Amino acid sequence: MWELVKAGGWLMTPIVVCSILALVIIIERSHTLQFNKVAPSRLREQLITRLRENGDIGRTQLMNVKEKTALGDILATGLLYRQYGLESMTMHMQNRASVQVHQLEKNINMLGTIGAIAPLLGLLGTVLGIISSFLAITDGAMQDPTMLAAGVSQALITTAAGMIVAIPALVAYRYFQRRIIDINAQFETQAGLMIQELYDYHLLASAQPSTSSSRTSIEDSIVQERSFGGLDSDKPSIAAV
């Protein structure tokens, strides 16, 4: 293996570095982007059940839920702002979902970059190897074929190495992209179901002021103004009497 790396020339060094980075990112993202770790299946049901039984969930418990999983962060944030009404709750949940999706996309672009540049590095090695072969011909490689074989082997080895690194990197890049889309859809589904269940079980607080009380106060002020106006209009008749 080391002999092949040496035969490929100095361009094998960045190709090997790209392969190591790609392998580390694939292992790390495979471990992180697991559905049971990012979006547990029964988390929403547990939160709603606890909320129905106790009437409320303590802030400490919600903070513990936020720190464990990405879905827990989104749902617990919504419950923390539940008292401020639906709009505030939805806005904060969307903000946390954006942050969590950004965290899930960590190093994914690097994997795509490796998949794009590895073939180019191999192609550059191919070009340099062919140039080396032609230079060897001018230096008398027709009498010594080993001088010609060195450049050809460099061209073939770097091309193969670039492809070997690029193909798995691109496959993993597309796979992780699709996995993040599925996880984001799961976030939206679970958040929507939780809001619907809060409505169904009458657990969603309203931040809007009571229209009936405001309407009553307005009507009372109008009645008082009319009564005062009536008294003022009666004064001339009393004076006249």
Apex CA 206: angle with CA 80 and CA 75, to 5°? 30
Closest CA to 33 of 218, 213, 173: 173
Q: What is the pLDDT of residue 220?
A: 53
Q: What is the pLDDT of residue 21?
A: 97
3-state SS, one letter per residue, for the chain: CHHHHHHCCCCHHHHHHHHHHHHHHHHHHHHHCCHHHHCCCCHHHHHHHHHHHHCCCCHHHHHHHHHHCHHHHHHHHHHHCHHHCHHHHHHHHHHHHHHHHHHHCCCHHHHHHHHHHHHHHHHHHHHHHHHHHHHHHHCCCCCCHHHHHHHHHHHHHHHHHHHHHHHHHHHHHHHHHHHHHHHHHHHHHHHHHHHHHHHHCCCCCCCCCCHHHHHHHHHHHHHHHHHHHHHHHHHHHHHHC
Size of the chain in residues: 241
Between residues 168 and 150, which one has the greater pLDDT? Answer: 168
pLDDT tens, residue by residue, 80-91: 999 898 999 999
Return the CA Rg of the chain.
35
Among the ranges given (36-50, 158-172, 200-214), the one the predictor scored with the smallest mean pLDDT: 200-214
* Pair 61, 166: CB distance under 8 Å: no
Domain boundaries, the chain: 8-117+169-200
Q: What is the pLDDT of residue 140?
A: 58
- How far is residue 86's CA from residue 83's CA, in Å, rounded to a whole number? 9
pTM exceeding the 0.85 threshold for the entire prediction: no
Between residues 190 and 150, which one has the greater pLDDT? Answer: 190
Q: What is the pLDDT of residue 216?
A: 44
- How far is residue 151's CA from residue 134's CA, in Å, rounded to a whole number? 8
Amino acid symbol at 62 = L
Amino acid symbol at 174 = R
Q: What is the pLDDT of residue 77?
A: 96
Q: List C-alpha distances in Å: 228 to 151, 217, 221, 239.
A: 107, 17, 11, 17
Mean pLDDT, rounded, of the chain: 83
Whether the predicted pLDDT of 240 surpasses 70: no
Tokens standing for residue 218: 């307005």
- How far is residue 225's CA from residue 230's CA, in Å, rounded to a whole number? 9
